[in-house]
Chains A and B, each alone.
Chain A
Amino acid sequence: MSKVLVIAEHDGETLNLSTSRTVACALALGPETIDVAVFAEAENKPAEAAARLNGVTRVLLVEHAANRNPVAAVLAPQVSALAKDYTHVLAPATTFGKDVLPRAAALLGVPQVSDIMRVLGRNVFERPIYAGNALETIETPPGIVVATVRTASFKAVAETGSAPVEKISLDFDCPTHTRFLRVEGSSGGGRPDLQSARVVVSGGRGLASKENFDLIYALADRLGAAVGASRAAVDAGFVPNDLQVGQTGKIIAPELYLAFGISGAIQHLAGIKDAGTIVAVNKDPDAPIFEVADIGLVGDLFEVLPALVDALPKDKS
């Protein structure tokens, strides 16, 4: 039976939601136990939060001064030291997990699976290749399974659990060759980065002018969202080209994508195919975007946009 170790992601204060989604993936394995490892300098809130995740058997709080910041070369030997008691080691496929886990897999001498989308068996997984334009099903060789989890493919678990938190101290050779200096947040108060934003509000040719794009910006501000645009809007000069979403612009995967006045040419859809929920507002009921929109509203965006801004609560973040 499977025993899964989940590597938690946190910033010292908050447990990242990615950890919960990784636990969801662990549950899909139908395991005997799921332990969550929190690497930290000292006891902290993330460990407590991890203990509340449904399905978690134990939280292992691995305390070490060097664990203050997540440095892959420091964490990987600790992960590989813990791993011997488990059949599976999972981490979220965030920049954190992608940095640490392959290093740990190499120390363990095993292959790693990146970006699990679906669990099909103890060691059979489906994952995206070619930027998600194809899906491959693979089977790992016998032995421990080390894998990162595509967080967008799993829903966070409920937080009604109460697992015990165990302090662990590991004996390991702590490398000194890598020093964490600092992290600089992306926009510091401005709009989130388009590439990684959770919510994106996007405008197309239907906005008809540069000035009208203010309506898009207003909704984005209300939602705490990033702003995107179709190629037609960029070519028409409504917005600069770093806002372009699509095959030749940015390929994004927000949780929520709201498209206003965008017809939905395949080149644009190529940029948003992995979005969680697509909402489309367009006055043309035949616009191709309605063929992929999860929620569609046939209407005049000049009426809908201000009405939406009024109807929505201000984003708290």
Chain B
Amino acid sequence: MNRESLEFDVVIVGAGPAGLSAACRLMQLANEAGKSLRVCVVEKGAEVGAHIISGAVFEPTALNELFPDWKGQGAPVTVAVEHDELHYLLSEKRSFKAPGFLMPKPMRNEGNYVISLGRLCRWLAEKAEALGAEIFTGFAAADVLYDDAGAVAGVVTGDMGIARDGSKKPNYQPGVELRAPYTIFAEGCRGHLGKRLMERFELRRDVDPQHYGIGIKEIWRIDPSRHRPGWVVHTLGWPLDNETEGGGFVYHGEDGLVLLGLIVALNYRNPYLNPFSEMQRWKHHPVVRRFLEGGTRIGYGARAVNKGGWQSVPKLSFPGGVMAGCDAGFLNPVKIKGNHTAMKTGMLAAEAVFEALETGGIPDMGGRYRQSWVDQELFRGRNFGPALAKFGTLVGSAFIWIDQNVFRGKLPFTLHNRVPDHASLDRAADSRKIDYSKPDGVLSFDRLSSVYLSNTNHEEDQPCHLVLTDPAIPIERNLPLYDEPAQRYCPAAVYEIVEAPGQPARFQINAQNCVHCKVCDIKDPAQNINWVPPEGGGGPNYVNM
């Protein structure tokens, strides 16, 4: 089919911290060299920030490099961390607070800020546009374009106006080809194009599989007397058991808002575990509820995050392109921070591509990464994830303390975790059902009213964007073996097993609710669910997440 084609020097997929930093850096390099550069950023959310969600406590290292005068330029990085607490929750009521020396050094936050990543991205987008980059929101990069030699030649945006049955509606609009000698893929964790590229160019050969967590976050407006701007609180332990990695966060930001959430590692074993419900009951613990009482929940969202760290970083460049940010996976699991490394790798991608535009050939992203502080930082924390996976939370934490505070990450060996997350589930028959009590409607809530707060919407009449390779698997395999965990791991209640008297069980997909977290793509034991982008502009409309 004949699509319209637009030519650029660089196409960037994703207007998140990595993609936007790449755009800014490219334009800075071009302006310094007196060159004109056509850079296009394409973003599936309806606007920059619509699909951005992160804790977040932010380390300004990369920002200092990208815009040394960011403070003077009004970057929304204003709430300095004042106070850091780590609690180990023993049960639903009890806990103990870790004294300072027990916290692994990299987890401490002097010099960092509590921010809204969505706000920061909007600021970065303004900078990128002011520098001359073009950003197009509401357009999903649906597929990669290849040239005759098999190199990446750009992306094609998704068709709009396709009906559920695949036919063209009256307002059908074909996608457009965005062509460039180099494309930077910065789709965030488990990007769907990144997934394809990793397979096609074997980028994951000889590296550990990526490991993920699901982060479920809420924003609350709390009683002003309980608000402590700059307070950072982390929790370990309850409600997660010793075998399940994860932890909670409560950050006091600006405007009387508290940003809180729970991250559950997706290598959990119990198919009855419901990360959303774990997060909801976690809020009832005194360490968390002390801030929330009298407050109002105003935002909700969820997203998968990378935690494989150093051992899981894939090859980063391939003919015609590079990967940056969480699409490749640079989150530092010890610091539980990935925004600064996303920005830095975005900048490195820009530098690699800028050089390649001159010299031709494959951009040297890998080399730049290995020489950067991102590599050093991730290397130092490389044993964190595998230690927790191998030794459980208690012993694992002890190991980490020694590894980080005594040996500063320089232990002469590297642990590996080679079991992919989707292969970690025990059979339902061998697992214990978890009794989650009903949400109380004050501190805890149900999934549908949570999705409501994410302002999620999709054009109704469009093909389902959660594609099952084999439609029979949910009922014929996942249900008997694992009690179809999709019913529980999806934080948006997309997947349901519907049973009616006298009728066979049915796997229902409520694609309309999808918040684009990618957890189903990651956790389905049969790897049968393939997340592809729905029609551009659809999905959540997060406000300052």
Does chain A touch chain B in the assembled complex, meaning CB atoms less than 8 Å apart?
Answer: yes
Please determine whether B508 and A236 come into contact, CB atoms closer than 8 angstroms: yes
Please determine whether B452 and A266 come into contact, CB atoms closer than 8 angstroms: yes
Answer whether residue B460 sits at the interface, using C-beta atoms and an 8 A cutoff.
yes
CB-CB under 8 A from A208, the residues of chain B are 500-501, 503
Please determine whether B512 and A248 come into contact, CB atoms closer than 8 angstroms: yes
Q: Size class of B's contact patch?
A: 10 to 19
Interface string of B507-527 (1 = CB under 8 A from A): 010101000000000000000
With both chains docked as a complex, state the minimum distance between the C-beta of A300 and any C-beta of chain B, in angstroms.
12
Answer whether residue B438 sits at the interface, using C-beta atoms and an 8 A cutoff.
yes
Answer whether residue B457 sits at the interface, using C-beta atoms and an 8 A cutoff.
yes
Answer whether residue B372 sits at the interface, using C-beta atoms and an 8 A cutoff.
no
CB-CB under 8 A from B501, the residues of chain A are 208
Answer whether residue B423 sits at the interface, using C-beta atoms and an 8 A cutoff.
no
Give A288 to B448 CA distance when docked, in angstroms: 11
Give A266 to B300 CA distance when docked, in angstroms: 14
Answer whether residue A214 sits at the interface, using C-beta atoms and an 8 A cutoff.
no
Answer whether residue A265 sits at the interface, using C-beta atoms and an 8 A cutoff.
yes
A208-B501, A209-B500 given; A267·B452 CB < 8 A: yes
Closest to A263 in B: B448
Q: Size class of A's contact patch?
A: 10 to 19
A208-B500, A209-B500 given; A286·B438 CB < 8 A: yes
Give A284 to B48 CA distance when docked, in angstroms: 42
* CB neighbors of A among B441-462 (8 A): 446, 448-449, 451-452, 457, 460-461
Closest to B164 in A: A241
With both chains docked as a complex, state the minimum distance between the C-beta of A234 and any C-beta of chain B, in angstroms.
9
CB-CB under 8 A from B506, the residues of chain A are 236
Give A205 to B457 CA distance when docked, in angstroms: 21
CB-CB under 8 A from A288, the residues of chain B are 446
Give A270 to B461 CA distance when docked, in angstroms: 20
Answer whether residue A235 sits at the interface, using C-beta atoms and an 8 A cutoff.
yes
Please determine whether A205 and B498 come into contact, CB atoms closer than 8 angstroms: yes
CB-CB under 8 A from A231, the residues of chain B are 510, 512
Please determine whether B438 and A235 come into contact, CB atoms closer than 8 angstroms: no
CB-CB under 8 A from B503, the residues of chain A are 208-209
CB-CB under 8 A from A241, the residues of chain B are 460-461
Give A265 to B452 CA distance when docked, in angstroms: 10
A208-B501, A209-B500, A286-B438 given; A235·B508 CB < 8 A: yes
Interface string of B421-441 (1 = CB under 8 A from A): 000000000000000001000
Of A236, A248, A265, the contact of B498 (CB 8 Å cutoff):
A236
With both chains docked as a complex, state the minimum distance between the C-beta of B227 and any C-beta of chain A, in angstroms.
24
Please determine whether B457 and A266 come into contact, CB atoms closer than 8 angstroms: no
Of A248, A266, A286, the contact of B460 (CB 8 Å cutoff):
A248
With both chains docked as a complex, state the minimum distance between the C-beta of B534 and any C-beta of chain A, in angstroms.
14
Give A241 to B459 CA distance when docked, in angstroms: 13
29 sample A-B contacts, Cβ–Cβ < 8 Å, listed by A number:
A205-B498, A208-B500, A208-B501, A208-B503, A209-B500, A209-B503, A231-B510, A231-B512, A235-B508, A235-B510, A236-B498, A236-B506, A236-B508, A241-B460, A247-B452, A248-B457, A248-B460, A248-B512, A265-B448, A265-B449, A266-B448, A266-B449, A266-B452, A267-B448, A267-B451, A267-B452, A270-B452, A286-B438, A288-B446
Q: Which 9 A-B pairs have the closest CB atoms?
A: A265-B448, A266-B449, A208-B500, A266-B452, A266-B448, A248-B460, A267-B452, A267-B448, A248-B512
A residues neighboring B (CB under 8 Å): 205, 208-209, 231, 235-236, 241, 247-248, 265-267, 270, 286, 288
Q: A236-B506, A248-B460 are in contact. List 18 more A-B contacts (CB 8 A).
A: A208-B500, A208-B503, A209-B500, A209-B503, A231-B510, A235-B508, A235-B510, A236-B508, A241-B460, A241-B461, A247-B452, A248-B457, A265-B448, A265-B449, A266-B448, A266-B452, A286-B438, A288-B446
